Amino acid sequence: MAGKVDIGACVSFGWNRFKNNVVYYLVGSLVVGVGAGLTFGLLAGPLLVGYFKGMIKEDSGGKAEIGDIFSAFDKFVPSLIVVLLCVVVSMIPLAGLLVGPLMMTGIYLIAKGENDGMAALKNGFEAYKSDLLMGVLCSIVLSIVGSLGAIACGVGMLATLPIAMAGNFLLAQQLVGDAGKANLRAA
């Protein structure tokens, strides 16, 4: 069903989530980025899953906390499969444009409870393929938003990167059809 992705809603959602819980989104994005970088991407999956689990907690009326980011190491193998396969696919010319939404959707499905990385990717792709163009466009816009902070000597990325990461969460929810009332209240 085309038309599920709302780019403006993803950016607004990211901004609203950031301003409502600055510490979680700021520190969380730093932990995910630094943790993934220092481990050459090995911890990118479980840290992203934990980050998304915190956001799912907020959807349920709770408050995301820094500890949530470290709560998904039991999902290490499935999340590593998602990240590694997406990295491999992104090495194919032009495929890199398609991989961002797929990876975020796979990570989101694992955060929701999926225990099989291949199943998360398969189900993520099934959800994503019906709105491929808008998913790619939204991913590009969120990448630009996340990078805009680099203009301010890099310091601005402390705000723009968390906005982009939260926007990617809503993008994944929109693609799988989970973007509901909880998200609209937070957006």
**pLDDT of 57-73, one tens digit each?**
999 999 999 999 999 99
- Tokens 């193998």 found at: 77
Provide, rounded to the nearest whole percent, the portion of the chain with pLDDT above 70: 93
Q: Do 119 and 98 touch, CB atoms closer than 8 A? A: no
Q: Which residues of 65-86 are buried (b: 16+ CB within 10 A; e: fewer)?
A: eeebbebbeebeebbbbbbebb
Nearest to 49 by CA among 69, 34, 65, 30: 69
Mean pLDDT of the chain: 92
Nearest to 132 by CA among 140, 73, 89: 140
Could you report the per-residue pLDDT of 140-158, keeping only the tens digit for each? 999 999 999 888 667 788 8
How much is the pTM?
0.92
The residues spanned by each domain of the chain are 7-21+75-180
- Rounded-to-integer distance, Cα 102 and Cα 81, Å: 13
pLDDT at residue 136, rounded to an integer: 95
**Is residue 52 pLDDT above 80, yes or no?**
yes
